[in-house]
Amino acid sequence: MIQMEDKESVSDFFTRILKFMNFMKRCGGTLANQSILRKNLRSLSPIFDHIVVAIEESQDLVSMTLDWLQGLLEAHE
């Protein structure tokens, strides 16, 4: 299970996630965009809990992109 480390930046965490996703794709695995976003939100450090709740309540995860989520989290970082 991938978890964001306490001292890890959002960009470093997303780089790790993208490396893992690329590895899965090379092995033939696929995940829906919404599933990837939900997994990323669950894997964030507890300091982002209030932001995760706000995103889940106010945003449409079906149309959201991973880049947009990263930008939003970096803005709050």
Summarize the confidence of residues 2-22 as an average pLDDT: 91
Structure tokens given for 50:
């209030």
The count of domains in the chain is 1
How far is Cα 50 from Cα 25, in angstroms, rounded to an integer?
31
Which range marks the domain in which residue 68 is found?
31-77
In a domain, 47, yes or no: yes
In a domain, 18, yes or no: no
User: Which tens digits make up the pLDDT trace of 31-62?
Assistant: 788 888 998 999 999 999 999 999 989 888 88
Contact 73, 45 (CB under 8 A): no
Question: Can you give the pTM of this predicted structure?
Answer: 0.82
Look at residue 10 in the predicted model and tell me its pLDDT: 95
Which ranges in 4-76 belong to alpha helices (H)? 10-26, 33-43, 49-58, 66-76
At 9, is the secondary structure helix, strand, or coil? coil
Look at residue 11 in the predicted model and tell me its pLDDT: 95
In a domain, 53, yes or no: yes
